[in-house]
Amino acid sequence: MTTATTGRAALKGVVGTPHTRVEGRDKVTGAARYAGEIPFADLAHGWLVLSTVARGRIRAIDTEPVLALPGVLAVLHHGNAPRVDTDYIGLLGMPPDPTAAVFQQDRVHHVGWPVALVVAETPEQAREAAEALVVAYDEEPHDTALTTGHPGAHPAGGVMPGETAKGDLEAGLAASAVVVDEEYTTPEEHHSMMEPHAATARWDGGRLEVVDSNQGTTWIQGELASMFSLDASAVRVRSEHIGGGFGSKGLRAHQVAAVMAATELQRPVRVVMTRRQMFSLAGYRSPTLQRVRLGADADGRLLALEHRSLNQTSTVHEFVEPSAGVARVMYDADAHHTANEVAPLDVPSPTFMRAPGEAPGSFAIESALDELAERAGIDPIALRLRNEPEVGPVSGLPFSSRNLDACFREGARRFGWAERDPRPGRRREGRWLLGTGTAAASFHAGAGPSTAVVTAQADGGFTVRIAAADIGTGARTALTLVAADALEVAPDRVRVRIGDSDFGPAMIAGGSMGTRSWAWAIRLAARELRERLALGTTIPPEGITVRSDTTEALGTLAQKERHSFGAQFAEVAVDTATGEVRVRRMLGIFAAGRIVNPLTARNQLVGGMVWGISMALHEEAVRDRTSGALYAPDLAGYHVATNADVGDIQADWVEDPDPDDPVGIKGVGEIGIVGAAAAVANAVWHATGVRHRSLPIRPDRVLSASVPAAGGDPHA
Amino acid sequence: MAPVPSSTSSAVTLNINGEKHQLTVDHRTTLLDALRERLDLTGTKKGCDQGQCGACTVLVDGRRAVSCLNLAVAAEGREITTIEGMAEGDRLHPVQQAFLDLDGYQCGYCTPGQICSAIAVIEEHAAGWPSAATEDVRPEAGPPPLTPDEIRERMSGNLCRCGAYVSIVQAVTRAAEAHEAAARDDDRADRHENTEETAA
């Protein structure tokens, strides 16, 4: 037994100082085990079989020949799989996507719809049998093409109201000295995290255990408990290391199929998605068709603003990509109209993907602002600062803090913006045309209810238990620093354990809210524990444990517009011979709350900007209208930025502690991508004098746009 | 369940990280699956299983290879080095240390492949191999300076969706500098030895 010795006086806080990842050694030596890598005795392997048609009915599944193949244990399909319940609302306030509730119906709703799971002794046997399984379909005509004015399109809410409107738009536009009215499009984009979705399910003494790769263990615990009509305490979900998530790692077909198979066979079953299966089962960002109309007076003050966005969803689940939401935070006008619309098609369900809404929405509105600046003859930064709203343009609520101005000023200084000749097509270097562009960024700052458990051990160490998820964000390390400061001890005395639903309800790693939500809960418990220890309490062998729950504290937060902000700058070189666009350098300056760990936070912000480059120049999943399937759905057909695509990228920040957060955190997971693609596109205009309103800015689009007149696509 | 030798499987001996492993593998088993599913060497990652992402990169006879496109039966007689074989006891390989210190990763899933690749890149460069980013590719020009552009090009077979490329390039740069410094020291020591021999 020891008495706590935490030495209040000598310790300076560690929050705000750089720390390498606490699990770093495990990651660089290969010792860190991800979901598909945890050994289980008597493990069987499941392989999903997906539909080859876009719409129709399963007529027959010929299981007999497959069951006779070596090692095959079972074939699960709609005719024999256990029934599950989908009539519930999950942690995110949404019903489950029926794509994850596998084998419940004979209908097929898109190419890649899960129709069967083959389970065998080895992965090779499972794969062979899955590929040999013959499924017959009654095919029906399908529609997979998102078009402007699609008959199925309708306004839709989701995480925010579908439509907002104030003032007379047409009158505002008519009264404007400068008007922009353009359409912008973004393609279907896929998360493509490096670790494929993987889950192993087993029954352990009447309790269901699932080892998974997900963005919230208590979230998945709740979904599986609801779906299989189990008490939440009868389900344990673990997810220690996660090889990237970006919004895709929620409840998906693989976990549900694994649980069904483990139940049927009464032995552990692992289901891992193949890279190609991920392109139809793991969610994606819907393509968007957006229209922006801006009207301003001669000084660039906005009089009218309209932003409408249409996205596709599946016929079984409505997901809204709320791209028109950006203007509700960023820009005001007397006439201000925004609308998110959705059209159901025979395609897989889209989902949250890094900065849902903000990423494609900021491409449209920040491109339109640049066009307005060009037409009004005003510097793009001056135009934005001239339109800084006092309060939320739609809500009328005050901002908790809004340091966009500081981001632009610091960014402009460091980027050398003042030396820029605003005229396009003026800088040439051999066959390269050079240009620079900028854009603003914003992302919602929030927190979700979480619980944490902090224990003071008799050996002088502290253990924090929280069902947090580190999907690469550095959350585990950030939380260690927050706990150390709250306990007033050095970080090496604190061990943070995460990724286990047994640790109690907690926020997911999503919406840039994870670290803030978890830090709040940890700090609450740690401060109380610290106070108890300050009384000179002797720590018994079992330690002293304090639990916290932030539900009440979060409930008392005043209604405000709470956001991170940022200013993005890009310099591009455009090859006039090949149409290739290279991003030579990029700078992002962010006002994103208190930065807990500068080393990992900078990496996060830069990573978001790399996503912006990738979105601007490379990413595009193309769907064949005839088959309804994607062309080449893999990492050779779907391009994400490689090392050689990424030049000198820098991210930094201005002081911006959140006034209402105990640590001052806002969140840094998503703001880095917002506005990044627009900054690149605006730089391409500056280099070439051609506007690219459709992403990605492919070489063929650059080349065809530079061919004068003769069949050129003005929106290339 | 491990297969027994038959018309569809064979007994092989794999030399991995200096250790010999005898096992019977299904002929379809890739080197990657043999490592992960049979030998519990899960440090080598499966990102795409079709040679497009680089997450499964290992060294085969000192050269980088994507283990998902190599069959286990064809790896017999080769010296295979995986991420688990890079550190010397508790002492990390300089490339591993640089990735750790400079945060050359985020989720960590591509990291073993990146590190194996980087170790080989430094060797390939030292051996004078050019890349698509090399200005002067004539053999007599010698190894080009290992600039960020050279590293970016040479490391582009390894995708990192977290977008940690900037710190990956920093980590490879630091490790390469340490490697060069060590080579210079060795060189100097050799010359010193030679001088002494001559003097004797």
* pLDDT, tens only, B122-140: 999 999 999 999 999 888 8
Percentage of chain A with pLDDT > 90? 95
Q: Does A441 share its domain with A451?
A: no
Chain A residues with CB-CB distance to B158 below 8 A: 643
Domain boundary among A265, A281, A297: A281
In a domain, A160, yes or no: no
Same-domain pairing of A81 and A8: no
Asked if residue A8 and residue A136 are part of one domain, the reply reads no
Q: What torsion, rounded to 10 degrees, do the Cα atoms B99, A638, A367, A153 define?
A: -130
Q: Which has the closest alpha carbon to B119: B45, B30, B43, B58?
A: B58
Residue A11 sits in the same domain as residue A50:
no
**Contact check, Cβ <8 Å, A473/B106:** yes
What's residue B180's pLDDT? 86
Q: Are residues A545 and A425 in the same domain?
A: no
Q: Considering only CB atoms, which chain A residues are within 8 Å of B100?
A: 20-21, 24-25, 27-28
Contacts of B190 (CB under 8 A, 6+ apart): none
Start-to-end CA distance of chain A, whole Å, equals: 72
**CB-based contact A275 B52, cutoff 8 Å:** yes
Residue-level pLDDT at B139: 83
> B106, A194: Cβ pair inside 8 Å?
no
- Give CA–CA dist A578/B58, Å, rounded: 35
Asked if A28 and B100 come within 8 Å (Cβ–Cβ), the reply is yes
Q: What is the pLDDT of residues A402-417, one digit of tens each?
A: 999 999 999 999 999 9
Interchain CB contact of B37 with A (< 8 Å): yes
Average pLDDT over residues B84-88: 97
Q: Is the peptide bond before A65 cis (omega within 30 degrees of 0)?
A: no
- Cβ contact A638:A621 at 8 Å: yes
Interface check B124 vs A, CB under 8 A? no
Which of B106, B147, B155 to mutate to test binding with chain A, by most A CBs within 10 Å of its CB?
B106
B177 touches chain A (CB under 8 A): no
Instruction: List the one residue out of B49, B85, B79, B47 whose CA is nearest residue B62.
Output: B79
Task: Answer for the pair A565, A442: CB distance below 8 angstroms, yes or no.
Answer: yes
Task: For residue A605, give how far its alpha carbon lies from the nearest alpha carbon of chain B (Å).
Answer: 10
Distances (CA, A) of B45 to A353, A662, B114: 23, 39, 11
CB–CB contact B163 A634 (8 Å): no
CB contact under 8 A, B33 and A649: no
Q: What pLDDT is recorded for position B56?
A: 98
Place of tokens 């800015």: A697
Does the beta carbon of B171 lie under 8 angstroms from any beta carbon of chain A?
A: no
What is the DSSP secondary-structure string of A457-489?
-TTS-EEEE-----SSS-HHHHHHHHHHHHHTS
Distance from CA of B138 to the nearest CA of A (A): 23
- CA A89 – CA A140 distance, rounded (Å): 31
- Answer whether residue B198 shows pLDDT above 60: no
Q: What superfamily in CATH does domain B9-85 come from?
A: Beta-grasp domain (3.10.20.30)
Does residue A10 share a domain with residue A119? no
Q: Which residue has the higher pLDDT, B142 or A75?
A: A75
Q: Is residue A350 part of a domain?
A: no
Task: Using the CB atoms, write b or e for B72-95: b if 16+ within 10 Å.
Answer: bbebeebebbbbbbbbeeeebbbb
User: Where do the H-state alpha helices sit in A151-274?
Assistant: 169-174, 217-227, 253-265
In a domain, A673, yes or no: yes
The residues, ordered by sequence, that sit 6+ positions from A629 with a Cβ below 8 Å of its Cβ are A52, A54, A111, A112, A623
A112 and A209 within one domain: yes
Query: Are B45 and A243 inside 8 Å of each other by CB?
Result: yes
The upper half-sphere exposure of residue A540, i.e. CA atoms within 13 Å in the direction of its Cβ, equals 3
Q: By three-state DSSP, how is residue A500 classified? A: strand
Q: Are residues A531 and A679 in the same domain?
A: no
Average pLDDT over residues A520-530: 98
pLDDT at B194 over 90: no
Q: Over the stretch A683-695, which tens digit does the pLDDT of each residue have?
A: 999 999 999 999 9
Span A212-239, average pLDDT: 98
Whole-angstrom distance, CA of residue A511 vs CA of residue B89: 41
Cβ pairs A/B, distance under 8 A: 179
Does residue B147 sit at the A interface (CB-CB below 8 Å)? no
In the predicted structure, residue A524 carries a pLDDT above the cut 50: yes
User: What HEC string does A422-439 produce?
Assistant: CCCCCEEECCEEEEEEEE
Q: Is A264 a catalytic residue?
A: no
H-only helix segments in A618-641: none
Q: How many Cα atoms occupy the beta-carbon half-sphere of A619 within 13 Å?
A: 25
**Cα–Cα distance between A526 and A532 in angstroms, integer?**
10
Tokens 């003026």 belong to residue:
A426
How many whole angstroms separate alpha carbon A13 and alpha carbon A526? 14
* Nearest Cα to Cα of residue A506 among A453, A459, A460: A453
Neighbours of A416 (CB within 10 A): 12
Distance (Å, rounded) from C-alpha A471 to C-alpha A215? Answer: 7
Q: Decide if pLDDT at A11 tops 70.
A: no
| Statement: residue A667 has pLDDT above 50 | yes
Q: Do A643 and B92 touch (CB under 8 A)?
A: no
- How far is the CA of B166 from the CAs of A163, A195, A651, B109, B162, in angstroms? 40, 21, 11, 17, 11
Shortest alpha-carbon distance between residue B198 and chain A (Å): 44
Q: Where are the domains of chain B?
A: 9-85, 94-199
B chain contacts of residue A123, beta-carbon cutoff 8 Å: 33, 37
Q: How do residues A593-629 score in pLDDT, each as one tens digit?
A: 999 999 999 999 999 999 999 999 999 999 999 999 9
What whole-number distance in Å separates Cα of residue A630 and Cα of residue A638?
10
Q: Which residues of A touch B101 (CB under 8 A)?
A: 20
Q: At what angle do helices B94-101 and B165-199 cross, to 10 degrees?
A: 140
**Given this structure, which CATH class describes domain B94-199?**
mainly alpha
Going by their DSSP bridges, the two strands B79-81 and B9-16 should be labelled as: parallel
Single pTM value for the model: 0.96
Domain boundary among A555, A590, A620: A555
What is residue A10's predicted lDDT score, i.e. its pLDDT? Answer: 45
CA distance A586 to B74: 45
d(CA B4, CA B110): 33
Are the C-beta atoms of residues A524 and A551 closer than 8 Å to each other?
no
Residue B188 pLDDT greater than 80, yes or no: no
pLDDT at A207: 98
Number of independent structural domains in chain A: 3
Q: What distance lies between CA A702 and its chain's CA centroid?
A: 29
The CATH number of whichever domain residue A204 belongs to comes to: 3.30.365.10
- Predicted confidence at residue A6, as pLDDT, reads 45
Asked if B107 lies within 8 A of A244 by C-beta distance, the reply is yes
Which residue in the set A192, A244, A275 is minimally distant from B49, CB to CB?
A275
Most A-contacting residue of B40, B134, B166, B170 (CB-CB within 10 A), to test interface: B166
Angle (nearest 5°) at CA A688 between A686 and A694: 85
Which residue in A28, A33, A600 is closest to B42 by CB distance?
A: A33
- Alpha carbon dihedral B122, B124, B129, B130, in 10-degree steps, equals -50
Closest CA to A132 of A53, A70, A225, A58: A70
Q: Which residues does chain A have within 8 Å of residue B163's beta carbon, measured at their own beta carbons?
A: 606-611, 614, 641, 646
Closest CA to A671 of A382, A383, A403, A388: A403
User: Is there a contact between B47 and A275 if contact means CB atoms under 8 Å apart?
Assistant: yes
* CB of A663 closer than 8 Å to CB of A520: yes
pLDDT at A350: 98
Number of neighbouring beta carbons within 10 Å of residue A6: 17
Neighbours of A594 (CB within 10 A): 19
Q: What is the mean pLDDT of residues A476-487?
A: 98
Please report residues of A whose CB lies closer than 8 A to that of B45.
Answer: 34, 194-195, 243
Per the prediction, chain A carries an average pLDDT of 96
Output the CA angle A314-A316-A320, nearest 5 degrees. Answer: 50
pLDDT of residue B2: 62
| Start-to-end Cα distance in chain B | 65
pLDDT at site B195: 59
Cβ neighbours of B86 in A, within 8 Å = 29
The pLDDT assigned to B193 comes to 64
Instruction: Please answer yes or no on whether A244 and B109 come within 8 Å at the CB atom.
Output: yes
Nearest CB to B161 within list A244, A604, A609? A244
Same domain, A28 and A53: no
Compute the average pLDDT of residues A326-342.
Answer: 98
Q: What is the pLDDT of residue B182?
A: 86
Closest CA to A509 of A475, A557, A478: A475
Q: How confident is the model at residue A3 (pLDDT cuts 50, 70, 90)?
A: very low
Compute the nearest-CA separation of A281 from chain B (Å).
Answer: 15
Residue B3 is predicted with a pLDDT of 67
Question: What per-residue confidence (pLDDT) applies to A436?
Answer: 98
- Residue in A424, A396, A236 with CA at minimum distance from that of residue A329: A396
CA distance A142 to A346: 6
Q: Which of A270, A643, A646, A652 to mutate to test the interface with B (most CBs of B within 10 A)?
A: A643
Domain stop point among A555, A590, A621: A555
Residue of B nearest to A279 (CA): B48
Distances (CA, A) of A684 to A229, A464, A668, A698, A709: 54, 48, 27, 11, 19
Where is B79: in which H helix or E strand?
Answer: strand B79-81
- Pick from A361, A279, A359, A350: nearest CA to A315: A350
d(CA A686, CA B23): 61
pLDDT at B200: 41
At residue A163, φ and ψ (nearest 5 deg) are: -130, 145
Does residue B7 belong to the interface with chain A, where contact is any CB pair within 8 Å? no
- What DSSP designation does A627 have? T
pLDDT tens figures, B136-156: 988 888 888 999 999 999 999
- Residue A493 contacts residue A462 (beta carbons within 8 Å): yes
Query: In B, which residues are within 8 Å of A272 by CB distance?
Result: 46
Report d(CA A502, CA A514) in Å as an integer.
Answer: 18
- Residue B48 has its nearest CB partner, among A275, A599, A606, at A275
Are B9-85 and B94-199 equal in CATH topology? no
Q: What is the mean pLDDT of residues A547-565?
A: 97
Asked if A575 and A431 touch (Cβ cutoff 8 Å), the reply is yes
- Helix (H) or strand (E) holding B179, with range, is helix B165-199
The residue segments making up the domain with residue A407 are 399-445+562-716
Q: Considering the domain boundaries, does residue A465 fall inside one? A: yes
